[in-house]
Amino acid sequence: MSKAPEETKKGHAYDPAEVEDRLYRHWLERDYFAADPASTNPAYTIVIPPPNVTAVLHLGHGLNNTIQDVLIRRHRMAGHNAEWLPGSDHAGIATQIMFEKQLLKEGVNRRELGREKFLERITEWAYANKDQILNQLKRIGCSLDWERERFTMDPGLSKAVESVFRHLYDKGLIYRGKRIVNWCPVDRTSLSDDEVETENKAGHLWHIRYKIRGSDEYLTVATTRPETMLGDTALAVNPKDSRYTKFVGKSVILPIVERELPIIADTYVDPEFGTGVVKITPAHDANDFEVGKRHDLPSVVVMNTDGTMNEQAGKFKGLDRYEAREQLVNELKQRGFLVSIEDYDLAVKTCYRCKSVIEPYLSEQWFVKMEPLAKPAVEALKSGKLRFHPEFWSKTYLHWMENIRDWCISRQLWWGHRIPVWYASDGTMFISAERPTAEQCPGYDPETLTQDPDVLDTWFSSWLWPFSTFGWPEETDELRAFYPGHVLVTASEIIFLWVARMVMAGYEFMGDCPFEDVYIHGTVRDAHGVKMSKSLGNGIDPLEIVDQYGADALRISLTLATPDGQDPWISRNTFEGGRNFVNKLYQVSRFVQMRLNGNRPVLDKLDTNDLVIFDRWILSRLTRTIEDVDRYFREYRLAAASKALYSFVWDDYCSWYVELIKPEAGQEIRPGSLAVATYVLDKILRLLHPFVPFVTEEIHHQLTGSNDSTLTFGPWPDVQEALKDDALEASLVQIQEVVTAVRAMRSELNVPPGKRADLHIRVSDNSLGQLLNDHQSYFGPLAKVETLRVGTEVKKPPFSASAVIGGAELFLPLEGLIDIEAEKNRLQKSLNELRNNLERLSKKLANQDFLARAPKDVIDRERSKKDDFEERIERLNKNLEQIMGW
């Protein structure tokens, strides 16, 4: 039965709320997170993936920023000049839509408000939001360099955007052109290919027949969007399709509209699909547009930007596209043009923001020619200059880069960087963010120029983030110090949208890759594996977790629970584990401090003259842990790093070491061991500081008795080879085995917990006997042993329980206490296990091929294992027989 903490007699559970708030303010006051461009320490730079100003902190941000903070804090501790740049993204479409919705609640329409007024209000709103989300990052302990906070619409960043536009335009890499774009009729803007999602939906294929001119024959086409037939300008067949070659060059009459359309031949048509005849609508389908260009066909736009039909649609003018479809199909049916309707599942493109169905739409847009930019970005990956973690993401990146398409950068919005292009009435263009001066547009009156009404895609500012934030295009000290950066931490969703484009921009404008490592983490899912999202309402609010369990608990739980390169499944009780661990750490520090009894410990030096076996053991384990953690950091395996620390602290340090050095009641702890305990605790605090900065700093302040001391700047523990000792670790394993075996015997035989018992150990060789003898005082507290007798000639006392481990036989005299049936079962069970193992081993060792081919050390190992098993079985058998006689 579990009790609430307040019901227990004691109860000094760690309370993070007060500590975390106080320490974060303390750190800010001391300016610990500011990086100085003039520092001579090597720089280590991370730029934050700027959260959208529409967002409130969710668990995905929690994970993303925890990882970055862990990395930045560790490097800061290792002596780097660590710059973690904070900021936010204006998130064009998302922000404008959200704000417009809010306006609508007030009964205000954006067009009524007017562009200028609208921008004023949305800016105010965006700034309030951005402050909120950035402040939320403070709650989870992020050590961001707040002095350098940037926003993608800051004047400096806008200048970078203009400068980049001009550069690419002058280079011929930005062009304006009529293209089929992804058009969202609800948001009334174009979208880039990467902003479009594909959904499989049930739909229909309508088979419609077109009468061949001057004949009674018909050609039947299949279409998923019949309303677009109003804009048809040809029918096409495959040139090799013998069914139709005779019709090529003739023409058909477009039903209802009665327009004459040529029949053309183009290899684009797949004879196997549908009827093998395709209607060509160049203004409303990207493929048809290409076909139209090849055959010099006219384009007829039949829709308005809001998805209603325009005057080209004749009597359907003004109808919504789907209403028009219905009426048109009805009429086709009535007039005998509709041959059949077939159920058909089709891939429908939808807007990533509002989810409405995208309309391929012919319009004039601005594009960036991407191929030349992609070249160095591909090279960076292939040469190993740019690395993804986990590595397999590089395939995704490469595939996109090598099949890159031009980037549509204009958006029909108001919120964003306005396209820095001004038009004269004759169509001449001038590049400038502000109205050009008379010198900038010789021969034209500046006052008569009009600016392009559109804005740039949000990513057109985000792709400059690694250098625009440090002052580019000015040549600043910051830029020199902090570019290129070191690692980019993000989720896989924006590898194309953002990561890839940053690499391209880095090379084009800075001549160097913006970072060398890209750490891709998973997307947070709920307990059932469903992506957490606001709309589904399955999200967990990280701030609620901070309130309930503390920021440290949130952070360590997330790092422990996020498998490398996979999606973590997170539920509320994921965080209990982290909370418990933080408390455990705090409790063991209380133990050490109580024993220090007010004496100030020496943390940075180790007196190796006064060590016992356990001291040397924990130092060896510590050294190995540091090695492991360092390696995991190098490999970007934070889950493994945090797990290594978790088990070192909980198992090695708390459960074994601290228990081993605990003195008998009323006694003082051995000074040498207390010094080691303190020394190791200090190292633990350092190793864990990146993960759980608050509790570690709090304990550090307590240990040093000073708020002036901090873990922020390290030093990070280093590996001292001399402290590693394999033989010693093996000896400890033997001692642990004895303790564990005695505990198990007592527990399984229901020996009352308070009852002490003698322990007799018969060893098969003297070195183990020596080891156990030398440390017999430790068996008292750990295994409730009264007196210990060890030797090769030790006899089994009457009425004693027994256990057999490698190299030793343990006897626990329990006259009157022993449950004979239970003891029989115990022995029988281990006997069965051992026999199974022996059987398998014997087979293996009887296999001539194994003996002939396996390496000698493997064979030797298996042989000695077999000997050991046989010996144990024999001893177990004897003990069992003896019991039978009771």
Partner RNA sequence: GGGCGGUUAGCUCAGCUGGUUAGAGCACCUGCCUUACACGCAGGGGGUCAAAGGUUCGAAUCCUUUACCGCCCACCA
- Torsion of Cα atoms, 779 then 783 then 786 then 790, to 10°: -50
| Least CB distance to RNA at residue 376 (A) | 22
Residues 13-42 that bind RNA (CB under 7 A): 13-15
Residues 822-851 that bind RNA (CB under 7 A): 829, 833, 837, 847, 849-850
Q: Which of 60, 565, 807, 813 lies at the binding interface for RNA (CB under 7 A)?
A: 565
Dihedral of CA 377/379/381/384: which sign? Answer: negative
| Nearer Cβ to RNA (455/561) | 561
357 binds RNA, rule: CB under 7 A:
no
Question: Could you tell me which stretch among 12-20, 314-322, 380-388, 709-717 binds RNA (CB under 7 A)?
Answer: 12-20
Q: Which two tokens stand for residue 195?
A: 């902003």
| Least CB distance to RNA at residue 312 (A) | 19
347 binds RNA, rule: CB under 7 A:
yes
Residues 229-288 that bind RNA (CB under 7 A): 268-279, 285-287
Backbone angles phi, psi at 409, to 5 degrees: -105, -5
| Least CB distance to RNA at residue 224 (A) | 5
| Least CB distance to RNA at residue 842 (A) | 13
What track of x and - describes contact with RNA for positions 591 through 620 (by CB under 7 A)?
Answer: x--x--------------------------
Check if the beta carbon of residue 495 is closer than 8 Å to that of residue 397.
yes
| Nearer Cβ to RNA (724/743) | 743
Q: Which of 219, 500, 540, 639 lies at the binding interface for RNA (CB under 7 A)?
A: 639
Helix or strand run (H / E) with residue 519: strand 517-521
d(C-alpha 140, C-alpha 58), whole Å: 12
| Nearer Cβ to RNA (117/243) | 243
| Least CB distance to RNA at residue 863 (A) | 12
Residues 502-531 that bind RNA (CB under 7 A): 527, 529, 531
Q: Which of 24, 366, 414, 496 lies at the binding interface for RNA (CB under 7 A)?
A: 496
Residues of 67-89 as b/e, b for ≥16 C-beta within 10 angstroms? bbbbbbbbbbbbebbbbbbbbbb
Parallel, antiparallel or unpaired: strands 277-280 and 150-151: unpaired
Q: Which two tokens stand for residue 857?
A: 């050390």
579 binds RNA, rule: CB under 7 A:
yes
| Nearer Cβ to RNA (132/566) | 566
| Nearer Cβ to RNA (41/538) | 538
192 binds RNA, rule: CB under 7 A:
no
Report the DSSP beta bridge partners of residue 389.
519
d(C-alpha 350, C-alpha 616), whole Å: 64
Helix or strand run (H / E) with residue 347: strand 338-351
Q: Which two tokens stand for residue 174?
A: 């930005």
| Least CB distance to RNA at residue 866 (A) | 10
Question: Could you tell me which stretch among 248-256, 468-476, 556-564, 698-706 binds RNA (CB under 7 A)?
Answer: 556-564
61 binds RNA, rule: CB under 7 A:
no
| Nearer Cβ to RNA (17/722) | 17
125 binds RNA, rule: CB under 7 A:
no
Number of Cα atoms under 13 Å in the Cβ half of residue 753: 0
Full DSSP string of 504-518: HHIIIIISS-S-SEE
| Nearer Cβ to RNA (208/380) | 208
- Torsion of Cα atoms, 723 then 724 then 726 then 732, to 10°: 60
Q: Which of 573, 599, 787, 864 lies at the binding interface for RNA (CB under 7 A)?
A: 573
| Nearer Cβ to RNA (386/639) | 639
| Nearer Cβ to RNA (72/745) | 745
| Nearer Cβ to RNA (468/559) | 559
Looking at residue 345, its amino acid is D
Backbone angles phi, psi at 813, to 5 degrees: -70, 120
Residues 781-820 that bind RNA (CB under 7 A): 806
Query: Who contacts 508 (Cβ-Cβ below 8 Å, separation ≥6)?
Result: 167, 168, 373, 376
Residues 654-673 that bind RNA (CB under 7 A): 654-655, 658-659, 662, 665-666
What track of x and - describes contact with RNA for positions 387 through 416 (by CB under 7 A)?
Answer: -----x--xx--xx--x-------------
Parallel, antiparallel or unpaired: strands 174-184 and 189-191: antiparallel
| Nearer Cβ to RNA (395/600) | 395
Helix or strand run (H / E) with residue 341: strand 338-351
| Nearer Cβ to RNA (580/882) | 580
| Least CB distance to RNA at residue 563 (A) | 3
Question: Could you tell me which stretch among 423-431, 581-589, 695-703, 759-767 binds RNA (CB under 7 A)?
Answer: 581-589
d(C-alpha 629, C-alpha 73), whole Å: 14
Report the DSSP beta bridge partners of residue 190.
183
Three-class secondary structure of residue 761 per DSSP: strand
Task: Identify each DSSP E strand in 557-678 by its residue range.
Answer: none
740 binds RNA, rule: CB under 7 A:
yes
| Nearer Cβ to RNA (594/722) | 594
| Nearer Cβ to RNA (137/639) | 639
Chain CA centroid to CA 397, Å: 16
Question: Could you tell me which stretch among 55-63, 129-137, 619-627, 650-658 binds RNA (CB under 7 A)?
Answer: 650-658
162 binds RNA, rule: CB under 7 A:
no
| Nearer Cβ to RNA (226/542) | 226
d(C-alpha 321, C-alpha 319), whole Å: 6
| Least CB distance to RNA at residue 862 (A) | 7
What track of x and - describes contact with RNA for positions 693 through 732 (by CB under 7 A)?
Answer: ----------------------------------------
Q: Which of 79, 239, 262, 563 lies at the binding interface for RNA (CB under 7 A)?
A: 563
Question: Could you tell me which stretch among 54-62, 498-506, 573-581, 758-766 binds RNA (CB under 7 A)?
Answer: 573-581
End-to-end CA distance of the chain: 38
Cα distances (Å, whole numbers) of residue 473 to 160, 236, 420, 461: 6, 51, 16, 13
Query: Who contacts 412 (Cβ-Cβ below 8 Å, separation ≥6)?
Result: 188, 189, 190, 305, 453, 454
Q: Which of 583, 623, 678, 734 lies at the binding interface for RNA (CB under 7 A)?
A: 583
- Comparing CA positions, the residue from 519, 465, 520 lying closest to residue 491 is 520
Q: Which two tokens stand for residue 554?
A: 């949130």
Q: Which of 179, 295, 317, 584 lies at the binding interface for RNA (CB under 7 A)?
A: 584
What's the chain's length in residues? 886
567 binds RNA, rule: CB under 7 A:
yes
Number of Cα atoms under 13 Å in the Cβ half of residue 402: 11
Under rule CB under 7 A, how many of the chain's residues touch RNA? 105
| Nearer Cβ to RNA (509/653) | 653
Parallel, antiparallel or unpaired: strands 455-456 and 410-411: antiparallel
Q: Which of 107, 384, 855, 885 lies at the binding interface for RNA (CB under 7 A)?
A: 855
Cα distances (Å, whole numbers) of residue 810 to 276, 719, 737, 768, 813: 85, 38, 11, 13, 10
Q: Which two tokens stand for residue 429?
A: 């263009």
What track of x and - describes contact with RNA for positions 195 through 234 (by CB under 7 A)?
Answer: --xx----------------------xxxxx---------
Query: Who contacts 192 (Cβ-Cβ below 8 Å, separation ≥6)?
Result: 182, 407, 408, 409, 457, 459
| Nearer Cβ to RNA (348/543) | 348
Report the DSSP beta bridge partners of residue 199.
348
Query: Who contacts 721 (Cβ-Cβ below 8 Å, separation ≥6)?
Result: 623
| Nearer Cβ to RNA (198/383) | 198
